Structure 1
């Protein structure tokens, strides 16, 4: 059995694609410092399945989070004042939908000021979603950041 070959190609309903893109947008919007942080993180919680798993790789020991262990330290960091003007945004990606499952796979950038110094980074994220009675919800997400030996095109 070969696990490579022709990729799965679907012709998803544009309504589903728009809904998935909205959920992914909520995910990225949550990671912005400044006013309304609590509202953005609450919005993110509303699109996460209660038992969602979020995984960070980034060349470090893999860290696996549940919803609360993922959100709490980010709320603390973004509200602490240590980072100014922090934001993340998608730079490109694609949505695949098959029945009640969907995936967004794409790249993103981030920028912030810390200690008066401007920083920026890039990475890739994969976000898996399930269609639930209340709409599309994130069931899992994983990310890796660009670094020595891991470059984005």
Structure 2
């Protein structure tokens, strides 16, 4: 049986019906965390149901219509990725994921999704990879963004939620040409010392930073997360105008928290579309391109730009030390 390394301690391999008991134990740890976001039929409650879930994907795989792969971290199943659908005639597939809470923040889902998308594009000729998620599932949306996907649109109230309401479903996608370009942009010089575990940690810091100001659906932004990902002396610099504006963390967070909670800026999101990360011992640098969107004073806007971020290794793990950005012209 094959296993693809994701980090020094994590591997990706097929999740088969004979894994039913292990899959059930994993779901017991993940159940409350993933139940709001996945199909109830996926969250099996006994071994028979667990085996049936995995058998459905085995049958899809046998018909070349899907598949499921598990992620094992230090020998324990902690989540996975799947092709919900896979149509080589149309050249379109839908990817998805799930993860237990104790394994978050390591970049494992992004790495696993990259592996199966690489295979779909390079070996199977897939032209379009879709990612479908409920509008409130910020972690899933963040994965789509880290994969360089674009938000195609939202299917409003597309099906019942089981509690008398209806669910909005977001559609994200990446095309094969865009995927190859993103992969080329991730390539780095052999002189750069790249640790998979460190890269995953830096990915998690950046995802937390970008997600800290998101307020879709009226959700309260988690701006306090900025103090967790930065060193206390961290600086954030806007170089959009003629003169750089330098903020400490409090100066940056407080005015943004206000406009994100008083109705000035709503449905706001920003996400990376590409990045190059360089790690040298206990320091690191990341150059990112990003997009953003939302309603400002009730009017929809979209934009983007570049960020440059510096990281330092501390006794409590990697932290951001400074970040600067410049927006593209309006």
Interval containing the TM-score (normalised by the shorter chain): 0.7 to 0.9
Q: Which runs of 5+ in 2 are unaligned?
A: 1-188
More helix by share: 2
Q: Which has the higher contact order (CA 8 A, sep 6+)?
A: 1
Q: Deviations over 1:64-118 (max 9, x none)?
A: 0011101111111111111120111111101110000011111000001123321
- In 1, the alpha carbon distance for the partners of 2:297 and 2:247 equals 28
- In 2, the alpha carbon distance for the partners of 1:104 and 1:21 equals 10
SS at match of 2:318: strand
> Is residue 2:255 matched to residue 1:77?
no
Q: Which has the larger radius of gyration?
A: 2
- In 2, the alpha carbon distance for the partners of 1:100 and 1:81 equals 41
- In 2, the alpha carbon distance for the partners of 1:62 and 1:14 equals 34
The equivalent position to 1:35 in structure 2, one of 219, 229, 249, is 219
> Is residue 2:255 matched to residue 1:107?
no
> Is residue 2:318 matched to residue 1:136?
yes
**1:50-89 maps to which residues of 2 (within 5 A)?**
50-89=232-271
SS at match of 1:73: helix
**1:15-26 maps to which residues of 2 (within 5 A)?**
15-26=197-208
- Structure 1, 53-62 or 120-129: larger mean CA deviation: 53-62
CA contact (8 A) 1:129 1:139 kept: yes
CA contact (8 A) 2:285 2:309 kept: yes
- In 1, the alpha carbon distance for the partners of 2:309 and 2:296 equals 28
TM superposition score normalised by structure 2: 0.41
TM superposition score normalised by structure 1: 0.86
More strand by share: 1
Task: Report how many residues are paired.
Answer: 140
> Is residue 2:305 matched to residue 1:123?
yes
Q: Deviations over 1:125-148 (max 9, x none)?
A: 011010101111110000000016
CA contact (8 A) 1:32 1:88 kept: yes
